[in-house]
Amino acid sequence: MFADTLSPYGGLLMFRAFVYNLLDYSDWTADRAKAAQELVGIYNGQYRDNVVIQAKYGPIDFQVREPAQPIFANLNMSNSAMELEVAQEYLGQQDHVVYLPPLWQEIFQFDMRVDNKTSLVRDLYTGKTFNRPLGGSAAVVNVGLNQTWLGSHMAMSNLYAYGRLAWDPTRDSVSNILSRL
């Protein structure tokens, strides 16, 4: 309904595929890591062309270490976007020095091996692998009113690097980005 309303105006609908509290945690077979696939991915190919399925980079919830989101390999007939966390919600609340882009690049470069072919995550969420017209990334950023917007210069470097990598996820997150700061 929303996608159809937006379509005449060239509008896009970003549908966030993160699932909260839809699993029965008393069922020991309930798998949080595949919840997005079970609840959103089952409609692959049924979304309108102006819908982009936005999923977090990992299947759990912006954890320090987690695998790449499996839904990206399964949305072969739907547009997708990767959600990254620039705000350090789980990594010291902007108080600790954490440079996130190497973590993101590890996810971007992970090979999902779709149909036993090289399928890098960055090529899945940008639409390249499945020849989808839309794709990209989104970020959770808690910009404030202080001098650096995000609480520290290092946190601001994460936002800067996100912008650079959103434009080109093949860039080296250390040498090409930090050299510009």
Residue 178 predicted with pLDDT over 60: no
The identity of residue 7, as a single letter, is S
Q: What percent of the chain has pLDDT over 70?
A: 92
CA quadruple 35, 125, 3, 42: dihedral, nearest 10: -30
Distance between CA 135 and CA 11 in Å, rounded? Answer: 14
- Over the stretch 112-129, which tens digit does the pLDDT of each residue have? 999 999 999 999 999 999
pLDDT at 180: 57
Going by the DSSP 8-state scheme, the letter that residue 95 receives in this structure is: S
Residue 49 predicted with pLDDT over 60: yes
All structural domains of the chain, each given as residue ranges with its CATH number in brackets, are 2-178 (3.20.20.80)
- Closest by alpha carbon to 173, among 111, 108, 129? 108
Least confident of 4-8, 29-33, 140-144, 173-177: 173-177
Supply the mean pLDDT for the chain. 86
- Over the stretch 135-170, which tens digit does the pLDDT of each residue have? 999 998 877 787 877 777 777 888 889 999 999 999
